[in-house]
Structure 1
Amino acid sequence: MRPGAGRRGGDGDTAGVTARRPFRALPALLLAGLLALTACSADPQPAPPPDPAPPTEAATTPTRVVAGVDDLGPGFNPHLRSDQSTVTTAIAAMALPSVFRPDAEGVLQLDRTVATDAKVTSQEPFTVSYELDVEAGWSTGAPIAAEDFVYLWQQMRSQPNTIGSAGYREITDVRSRAAGKAVDVVFDEPYPHWKELFTNLLPAHLLKDAPGGWTAPFRGGVPASGGPFRLMQVDRLRGEVLLVRNDPYWDTPAVVDEVILRRIPPNTLPTALESQGIDLALPDARPAVTQALDVLAGSPKPPTVQSGPRPSVQQLSFRTQDGPLADPRVREGVAASLDRDAIRERVSPDSTAVDAFGLAPSDAGYAPTAPDGAPGRPDRAGAEAALTEAGYVRGADGRWSLGGRPLNVVIGAGTERSEDVEIARVVAEQLTAAGIGATVVAPATPDLLTSASVAPTTPTPTSTPAPGAGAAPGGDAPQPTPEQPTPQESTPTTSATPTTTPGDGGSVAVDVLVAPRSAYGAIGPRLVSDYGCPPDDVPDDLPGTSCFPALQPLLDQLLTGPADPAVVAEAERVLWRQLPALPLYQNRGLVISNPQTDASTRVTPGPIATGPMTGAKTWGEPEGSSEAVSTNEAGEPEN
């Protein structure tokens, strides 16, 4: 066991404890020991051993951190676009193992609790070898091993709806050594971004043979933990996720016994912070939150408010394979009919506008790449010219049609993602005003991102409780249950529940997809993952899928070579001309904490990829007790 690994504050299974307790810098038993030493130094005669003191409340009551969040999201697989959320990022940072993790500056560093070594061992073929910590294991008792690498590789290279799949598709083989505790990963050609791979490993021993193992188990939790915390319970009815200290964790255990992620509406945020009902809050920056915080601005101890970028960009993806938007002129006409600034102001006014397909405003070196004339504000003349060139005619009623058939588009947004649904509504309003028919559908987010067509469902302004919705253990892979508002909160106007459109029992293809794209990692893999041609074993008719012969050679250069600015600029130029998507904005997240929390956690927004809960393992430790691990360019630990 490593130094410090014996520190325990109580049993990790504490779901039944409801009283919130403050952090304690010195446990009572340690304090008693210090007093005993002081007494001995003052008395030269040996003192008889004291009677064992009964356990005090300070020594037996678990410590807890409660973090307020906007919502729980549809699921918790960190590799799925449909599951991207603050909660998913937090759970992954606390419960899933990664070979490399970003440091405070965002630079990837080897995590020695998972791998003792990771480096390039061959150039022909290009091979990266990992030596895994022999003690590293899952909370089920199974070792973290080569099979977990194989499973993640196989899923990422073949499943739709993934984040950052391009690098995994460059791998030709994953080989096991040393009874699974050493792994050799072989690539088709030298791959400079290999450190970004094999983050958030998943428990293959539970998932590889389970029906729907890649998605279903994550709708109600995370099946097993390979980190200092494990997900104990998801209660969608109450809007809470409970993580407890992972007792089988092989390295220095977490100090905090419990971390609760609790849904908190903005109007109750001041009361929750002031009464210490929550220790910190992690909402998106938006006017409702800012106005709520104004209530606490004049208090004797106002909360600390920090801001950091979210790890995704909101965008509209166009269906380029078939349908009306298969014609680039129609895509241009639709884009020229939209007011991106107005969409941002309506939905997320505190966000940052995005005018590039690759880099996000949070990236170093970001600059807008939109050329003159690129769609940003409504351009009526440009829209008319593009649609007329495509053969459309605008009638006396202002509607565009081709051969007597009106131009109609279907806009899709995941029903569990309220912000996406609100974007879809605003886009539909703008297109309708421009003479383009628009219908909004809101199916389940995983269905939307993995199916060529979806049920013609429409968003409604209220949610209806689902029978049997409630708490679900994180490891039991329950069926998904929709989130419900707690009794004290008002129902958001942007929430949606699927309802079948009357008179239409068939499915529809989505022409405009509202969904986030990732905003971190090397630019080459990012562009290829988002806009590159799909591999042969991935359907090419899914929403958000595109393939352009003029673009793919540029993306191939960026994937396996350095990020040549000239190649990036040319790729951006092609993307603006072809318009497979239209970037909108990048949200900013807030970290709101009270003075007591600041002293105990030193919480920050954290690296963009892992977020504010990155350092939760060391919360409650004296400052300066954690150690950073650095590696050289080859991935070898530095002396």
Structure 2
Amino acid sequence: MTRALVVALLAVVLAACTAVPSPQPAPTAPEPTAQLEPTELVVGVEDLGAGYNPHLLAHSSPLTTAVAALVLPSVFRPGADGVPQLDRTIATSAEVVSTEPFTVSYELNLEASWSTNTPIAAEDFVYLWEQMRADPGVSDGAGYRLITDVRSRAGGKAVDVVFDQPYPAWRELFADLLPAHLLKDAPGSWIGATTGGLPASGGPFRIATVDAGRGEVVLARNDTYWDTPAVLDTLVLRRLDDAAMATGLAVGDVDVALTEADPAVRTALGGLTPVPRTQLAPLPTVTQLGLRADDGPLRDPRARRGVAALLDREAIRLSVAPESLPADAFGRAPSEPGYAASAPEGAPARPDPIAAEQLLASAGWTRDTSGNWAVDGAPVALVIGSAEERPEDGRVARLVAAQLTVAGIDAVAVESPAAEVLVQATVPAGEVTTTTGPSTSTTSPSSSPSPGAPTSPAAAPPAGGGVPVDVVVGPRTVGGDPGTELASDYGCALPTDLVPDPPASPTGFCFPALQLLLESLATGSGTEDPARFATAEQVLWAQLPALPLFQPVALVVSSGAADAATGVGPGPLTEGPLAGAARWSEPG
């Protein structure tokens, strides 16, 4: 009995000692992590251009220049004073290590790599060298043609570049390197494969999308970039007309705009409150008329000068690009330090109908009873070609054709893809039409020329089916070494052991008597002798392979908020206003 009672009491005590937990407050749900909105800045542009390869004249545009500065790696970049400075994100050193033969050694940054995680290496140097020395339609190729070998060391992270003679401007080479591992075997190589974008990035941004239909290129932060990352998540480059650009700036949908400087744009902007800031930014090109020199009615330099003397260059400039800078030289551009006009007082730089008549007559041209010009018994018919992706050039071409038509020369303006007119200087045969007379009619390019007549674009198309262009409206690049640019633009395409069949210039100009002087200017022997540059300019005005017109100028437009967030300005001539965009932030 007692034992049972003890057991019962013990059970009660144990039950009492087994404490029931006090009710606890319900666990608090974790605070949701704040999701940061992606930072974005919108830049309005006029056009998307023909492609994104900065080494091709056919792809030349402000947008291509801007994209290249943010996406492609360069060994040297222009400093604040325009002098090339080593970009240590790409190369830790670059120096001349030998003078016989002249050799430059590059030590590449071990971390530098493409967005595909492939190292930026010697093969990219080799690829660019091979394309620049042998492909048609490149800009500033003369320096690359002096290279005899590109040697790889240290697993591709060191490069030795050997030249056949000293080349003081070597720092301007190997800018905007392209990804050889993706392009060397791509269909169309660096022309076709870069028409719709760039396949890899070696800079703070990468091309995320190119939407030609919507008129938009989106640059996204390159997350594989090894150096300081871009502040913005995305930089949107959006094609807009003047009205849409002004509206976008007014409501905050557009932060910065890069547009052609002209009265229509200023009128659209003038209605905004507050009026956005505008800055002028000269472009790294000069618009010129390339004159076909290898064949056709303009093969005689007197004919080229005579036709030029019929043109009013200033009227063309004021009509097409009134805020552009008149270009009166073949070397430096008007915005560059050291520029000096070299144009003669009168023809061919200025319109002079009397001088034109004398020059054309001395070249064998005659007038018929109607006042129209003929040569060797056949009417002169000139094709004025421009790239359809370059609307401003099209306006120039139409004005040139109109002025020549009034002067008695049958001339037609034809727009064609940039890769045809700026690389091959041809246009499709079916697009050539005459503009003289009461109506416009198609010119048949298949009729046979009269005996002894020069090959005429309207009479004998080349075997490929295209019609040669007599006058090519297009850009020549500026901003680099003046001697190299003169040799690149107006030198002869001479065969070498490495390139036995080099491409000629689109218009086929070659004046052997000038070649040695151009080569000496490119290799620096004329750097301290301005008289040698002046001599080259005089010869070029006499031979007239091209007629300079103007240096285009863009208008950089920014809202007050965008100004504070970006500090946008004209930027270096060869890189443009977006060169510092990796440091921009989103306007508040």
Structure 1: distance between partners of 2:119 and 2:271: 50
- CA drift of 1:112 comes to 0.6
Q: Write the letter of the residue equivalent to 2:32.
A: P
Of residues 550, 557, 565, the one that matches 2:520 is 557
User: What are the superposed Cα offsets for residues 563-588 of structure 1, whole Å, 9 maximum, x if unpaired?
Assistant: 22010000000000001100000111
- CA drift of 1:543 comes to 2.4
Match of 1:382 in 2: 355
Of residues 161, 167, 177, the one that matches 2:137 is 161
Q: Write the letter of the residue equivalent to 1:270.
A: A
Match of 1:133 in 2: 109
Structure 2: distance between partners of 1:265 and 1:452: 29
Of residues 353, 377, 388, the one that matches 2:326 is 353
Describe the shift of the 1:615–1:186 C-alpha distance in structure 2 as closer, same or farther (beyond 3 A): same
User: What are the superposed Cα offsets for residues 300-340 of structure 1, whole Å, 9 maximum, x if unpaired?
Assistant: x3311111211100000111111111111111110111110
Match of 1:289 in 2: 265
Match of 1:366 in 2: 339
**2:534 matches 1:569:** yes
Correspondences of 1:2-41 after superposition (within 5 Å): none
User: What are the superposed Cα offsets for residues 58-92 of structure 1, whole Å, 9 maximum, x if unpaired?
Assistant: xx211001000011001110000011111101110
CA RMSD of aligned residues (A): 2.0
* Secondary structure of the corresponding residue to residue 98 of structure 2: strand
Match of 1:61 in 2: 37
- CA drift of 1:419 comes to 1.0
Match of 2:449 in 1: none
Match of 1:279 in 2: 255
- CA drift of 1:541 comes to 5.5
Q: Write the letter of the residue equivalent to 1:381.
A: I
Q: Does the 8 Å CA contact 1:148/1:203 hold for their aligned counterparts?
A: yes
Larger-gyration structure (1/2): 2
Match of 2:459 in 1: none
Q: Write the letter of the residue equivalent to 1:604.
A: G
Q: Does the 8 Å CA contact 2:385/2:413 hold for their aligned counterparts?
A: yes
**2:131 matches 1:172:** no
Q: Write the letter of the residue equivalent to 2:546.
A: A
Q: Does the 8 Å CA contact 1:160/1:449 hold for their aligned counterparts?
A: no
Structure 1 residue runs of 5 or longer lacking an equivalent are 1-49, 461-499, 623-639
Of residues 332, 339, 344, the one that matches 2:305 is 332
Correspondences of 1:219-230 after superposition (within 5 Å): 219-230=195-206
The answer to which of 612-621 and 243-252 deviates more is 612-621
Aligned-residue sequence identity (percent) comes to 56
Describe the shift of the 1:305–1:570 C-alpha distance in structure 2 as closer, same or farther (beyond 3 A): same
Structure 2: distance between partners of 1:130 and 1:52: 54
- CA drift of 1:456 comes to 2.6
- CA drift of 1:403 comes to 3.6
Describe the shift of the 1:540–1:256 C-alpha distance in structure 2 as closer, same or farther (beyond 3 A): closer
**2:250 matches 1:249:** no
Match of 1:592 in 2: 557
Describe the shift of the 1:52–1:550 C-alpha distance in structure 2 as closer, same or farther (beyond 3 A): farther
Correspondences of 1:344-493 after superposition (within 5 Å): 344-451=317-424, 453-456=426-429, 458=431
**2:127 matches 1:151:** yes
Correspondences of 1:489-504 after superposition (within 5 Å): none
Q: Does the 8 Å CA contact 2:425/2:507 hold for their aligned counterparts?
A: no
Name the count of aligned residue pairs: 530
Describe the shift of the 1:541–1:169 C-alpha distance in structure 2 as closer, same or farther (beyond 3 A): closer
Q: Does the 8 Å CA contact 2:148/2:162 hold for their aligned counterparts?
A: yes
- CA drift of 1:544 comes to 3.1
Q: Does the 8 Å CA contact 1:374/1:576 hold for their aligned counterparts?
A: no
**2:523 matches 1:547:** no
Structure 2 residue runs of 5 or longer lacking an equivalent are 1-27, 434-440, 447-464
User: What are the superposed Cα offsets for residues 146-165 of structure 1, whole Å, 9 maximum, x if unpaired?
Assistant: 00000000000001111110
Structure 1: distance between partners of 2:482 and 2:113: 33
Q: Write the letter of the residue equivalent to 1:428.
A: A
Match of 2:472 in 1: 513
- CA drift of 1:504 comes to 5.1
Describe the shift of the 1:621–1:404 C-alpha distance in structure 2 as closer, same or farther (beyond 3 A): closer
**2:494 matches 1:535:** yes
Q: Does the 8 Å CA contact 1:442/1:457 hold for their aligned counterparts?
A: no
* Secondary structure of the corresponding residue to residue 65 of structure 1: strand
Correspondences of 1:117-132 after superposition (within 5 Å): 117-132=93-108
What TM-score comes out, normalization by structure 1 length?
A: 0.80
Q: Does the 8 Å CA contact 2:39/2:586 hold for their aligned counterparts?
A: no
- CA drift of 1:115 comes to 0.5
The answer to which of 528-537 and 371-380 deviates more is 371-380
Match of 2:189 in 1: 213
Q: Write the letter of the residue equivalent to 1:519.
A: V
* Secondary structure of the corresponding residue to residue 260 of structure 2: coil
Structure 2: distance between partners of 1:147 and 1:571: 36
Structure 1: distance between partners of 2:171 and 2:181: 24
Q: Does the 8 Å CA contact 2:566/2:581 hold for their aligned counterparts?
A: yes
- CA drift of 1:454 comes to 3.3
- CA drift of 1:105 comes to 2.2
Structure 1: distance between partners of 2:281 and 2:64: 17
Q: Does the 8 Å CA contact 1:550/1:574 hold for their aligned counterparts?
A: no
Structure 1: distance between partners of 2:502 and 2:181: 27
Of residues 524, 534, 538, the one that matches 2:483 is 524
- CA drift of 1:282 comes to 0.6
Q: Write the letter of the residue equivalent to 1:576.
A: W
User: What are the superposed Cα offsets for residues 402-437 of structure 1, whole Å, 9 maximum, x if unpaired?
Assistant: 243111211111111111111111100011111111
- CA drift of 1:387 comes to 1.2
Structure 2: distance between partners of 1:183 and 1:53: 54
What TM-score comes out, normalization by structure 2 length?
A: 0.87
Match of 2:72 in 1: 96
Q: Does the 8 Å CA contact 1:510/1:543 hold for their aligned counterparts?
A: no
Structure 1: distance between partners of 2:270 and 2:343: 37
Q: Write the letter of the residue equivalent to 1:532.
A: G
Q: Does the 8 Å CA contact 2:492/2:504 hold for their aligned counterparts?
A: no
**2:214 matches 1:238:** yes
Q: Write the letter of the residue equivalent to 2:477.
A: S
- CA drift of 1:540 comes to 5.5
- CA drift of 1:621 comes to 9.9
Q: Does the 8 Å CA contact 1:456/1:501 hold for their aligned counterparts?
A: no
Q: Does the 8 Å CA contact 2:412/2:432 hold for their aligned counterparts?
A: no
Structure 1: distance between partners of 2:542 and 2:560: 51
Structure 2: distance between partners of 1:618 and 1:125: 41
**2:577 matches 1:618:** no
* Secondary structure of the corresponding residue to residue 384 of structure 2: strand
Structure 1: distance between partners of 2:260 and 2:295: 36
